[in-house]
Amino acid sequence: MENTETKANDVKTTAQNLTDNLSEYVQIYLKLGAVNATQKATVVATIALTATMLSVFCLFILFFAGFGIAIWLGESWGNMKAGYFTVAGFYIFATLLFAALRKKMIFPYVRDHMIRKVYE
């Protein structure tokens, strides 16, 4: 009889230890998931901030380079209007090219780059 009670107590103790360990395992797993999600969100936010800053700097570069080239062309051709319209035509051409290629080349590249960064 004592042997049966001892076995029952051992089973209860083992079950209690297993329950405690399982509860601890679940808590640690949830904390790990939160850390991983935070890390991925940080990577995405960093990429977004970097892309925004680079876009702003590139916009200023294009703006001032466009003015410089327009003035240079206008002075060398003797017609300032022709210089400005030539640069404007180039920007229109670049915009149309971007619009034509955005679905096939540009968006897939950006999407793949973002997904790659998230799963690093």
pLDDT digits (tens, 9 = 90+) for 41-67: 887 888 889 989 999 999 999 999 999
Of 20 and 50, which is predicted with more confidence?
50
Q: Report which of residues 16 and 53 the model is more confident about.
A: 53
Average pLDDT value over all residues in the chain: 84
What pLDDT, on the 0 to 100 scale, is given for residue 61?
A: 95
Task: Report the percentage of the chain scoring pLDDT > 90.
Answer: 38
Q: Write the CB contacts of 77 (distance below 8 Å, at least 6 apart in sequence).
A: 83
Per-residue pLDDT tens over the stretch 77-106: 999 999 999 999 999 999 999 888 888 887
How many Å apart are CA 73 and CA 84, to the nearest integer? 8
Q: Determine the Cα–Cα distance for residues 84 and 108; give it in Å rounded to an integer.
A: 34
Amino acid at 109: Y
Between vectors from CA 100 to CA 54 and to CA 102, what angle results, nearest 5°?
Answer: 40
State the CB neighbour count (10 A cutoff) for residue 106: 12
